[in-house]
Amino acid sequence: MGKLIGKTALVTGSSRGIGRAVAERLADEGALVAVHYATGADAAREVVAGIEKNGGRAFAVQAELGVPGDVDTLFAGLEKGLEEHTGHTTLDILVNNAGIMAMLQPAEVTPELFDRMMAVNAKAPLFIVQRGLSLIPDGGRVINITSGLTRVASPEQVTYGMTKAALEQIALHFSRHLGGRRITVNSVAPGSTDNGGPVFQVPEIREALSRLSTFGEVAEPTAVADVVAFLASNDARWITGAFIDASGGTLLG
């Protein structure tokens, strides 16, 4: 513990699920964490309070992503919070985690749904990285939470898979763009991870999802958060442009 003392981090969508676990883990390592949310103000407050109770530092930032002005709103709140807590606006670690998913037969996909999902899952992260680069110092970190579904056929998730495949392109191209500044850019791809949502409480569904992993279980969000914390640390300084399979062996086939 303590590998991120003195660092600052933004974790989008960290009011619940995987993002929450990432925020808590980075804070445990000593980072000041911006806990971003769209609608879950109470949940975000709870995450911040929990981090503070454990001796960590965090603040909440609201911004709905995928709508006009989203990045401006996010960075206004982020910069205000960073300034208040540190006296500067340096952002060492950016985790693009917020995302939306929908299960739809291919015939049910509509242009509107495609646009919405692409806007939240791929367009927003691109422009968050673009804007974030004015705050990220040399040696900083960009980590995008993608999905094992970019590597496994799942017809009901064709749109979601397309958005995550687009998101994965950020690591490839920005790792080259930012290599000279020693900023690493990587993708972390979870498999089925219990985000507290109702489907994980349905025994038959949980069992079916468990069988996808070679470990025979759905992941706890902390399992993914530990991988993110490693990539955020100095120990991972030589990993960039990578696709990190954090699916518990779901991609083994």
Give the shortest CB-138-to-ligand NAP separation in angstroms. Answer: 27
What is the distance between the alpha carbons of residues 148 and 247, in angstroms, rounded to a whole number?
6
CA distances for 125 relative to 42, 86, 206, angstroms: 24, 25, 30
> Looking at beta carbons only, is 8 or 97 nearer to ligand NAP?
97
State the amino acid at position 217 in one-letter form.
E
Token pair for 196: 């507290």
Measured over all CA atoms, what is the biggest interatomic distance in the chain, rounded to whole angstroms? 52
User: Which of the following is catalytic: 37, 59, 75, 160?
Assistant: 160
**Binding region for ligand NAP (CB under 6 A):** 13-19, 37-40, 64-66, 97-101, 120, 145, 147, 190, 192-193, 195
> Looking at beta carbons only, is 184 or 192 nearer to ligand NAP?
192
Active site residue 37: no
Give the shortest CB-236-to-ligand NAP separation in angstroms. Answer: 19
User: 64, 38 in Cβ contact below 8 A?
Assistant: yes
Give the shortest CB-42-to-ligand NAP separation in angstroms. Answer: 10
> Looking at beta carbons only, is 13 or 56 nearer to ligand NAP?
13
Secondary structure (DSSP) of 134-183:
TTPPTT-EEEEE--GGGTS--GGGHHHHHHHHHHHHHHHHHHHHHGGGT-
User: 213, 248 in Cβ contact below 8 A?
Assistant: yes
> Looking at beta carbons only, is 8 or 147 nearer to ligand NAP?
147
What is the distance between the alpha carbons of residues 68 and 182, in angstroms, rounded to a whole number?
31
Give the shortest CB-56-to-ligand NAP separation in angstroms. Answer: 18
> Looking at beta carbons only, is 42 or 86 nearer to ligand NAP?
42
What is the distance between the alpha carbons of residues 27 and 79, in angstroms, rounded to a whole number?
18
Using only the alpha carbons of the chain, give its radius of gyration.
17
State the amino acid at position 178 in one-letter form.
L
Q: Which residues are catalytic?
A: 160
